[in-house]
C-alpha cells in the first residue's frame, strides 16, 4: 500500500475523496469527525462546495488529513 500521495490543485477534491474511501470513511463521516474534533459546525454541503471550488483554507486541509491519519509535509523540488 502506498503511504505517500502528492496533492495537486487540479483534482484535490477527487484525491480527498479517494483517501477517504481507502480509509473507509464517507465524506459525511469525515465532516462529522472534523466538526467533533475541532469544535466546528460546518455542513457537508459547505465542505463539498469548498472542495469543488478550491476555496478551503490550509488549516481545513490539515484538519481533513488529520482525521484521515495523514500528515502534510513540504518537500523542496529539485530544479534541473
Domain that holds residue 18: 12-68
pLDDT of residue 1 exceeding 70, the answer is no
State the total domains in the chain.
1
28 within some domain:
yes
Mean pLDDT confidence for 40-45: 92
Residue 5 counted as domain residue:
no
Which grid cell sits at 68? 484521515
Residue 60 belongs to a domain: yes
Share of the chain above pLDDT 70, in %: 98
For position 6, what pLDDT does the model report? Answer: 80
pLDDT at 11 exceeding the cut of 90 = no
Question: Rounded to the nearest 5 degrees, what angle is found at the Cα of 67, between the Cα atoms of 61 and 71?
Answer: 60
Instruction: Please tell me the pTM assigned to this model.
Output: 0.84
- Would you say residue 24 lies in a domain? yes
Q: Is residue 49 included in any domain, yes or no?
A: yes
Q: Kindly state the average pLDDT of the residues 21-30.
A: 93
Q: What local confidence, expressed as pLDDT, does residue 2 receive?
A: 62
The DSSP annotation for 9-58 comes to TTSHHHHHHHHHHHTT--HHHHHHHHHHHHT----HHHHHHHHHHT---H
Q: Is 16 within a domain?
A: yes
The answer to the question of residue 76 being in a domain is no
In a domain, 1, yes or no: no
Amino acid at each position: 500500500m502506498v503511504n505517500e500521495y502528492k496533492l495537486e490543485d487540479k483534482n484535490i477534491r477527487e484525491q480527498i475523496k479517494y483517501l477517504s474511501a481507502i480509509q473507509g470513511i464517507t465524506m459525511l463521516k469525515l465532516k462529522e469527525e472534523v466538526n467533533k474534533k475541532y469544535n466546528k459546525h460546518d455542513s457537508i454541503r459547505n465542505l463539498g462546495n469548498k472542495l469543488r471550488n478550491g476555496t478551503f483554507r490550509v488549516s481545513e486541509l490539515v484538519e481533513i488529513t488529520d482525521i484521515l491519519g495523514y500528515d502534510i509535509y513540504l518537500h523542496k523540488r529539485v530544479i534541473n
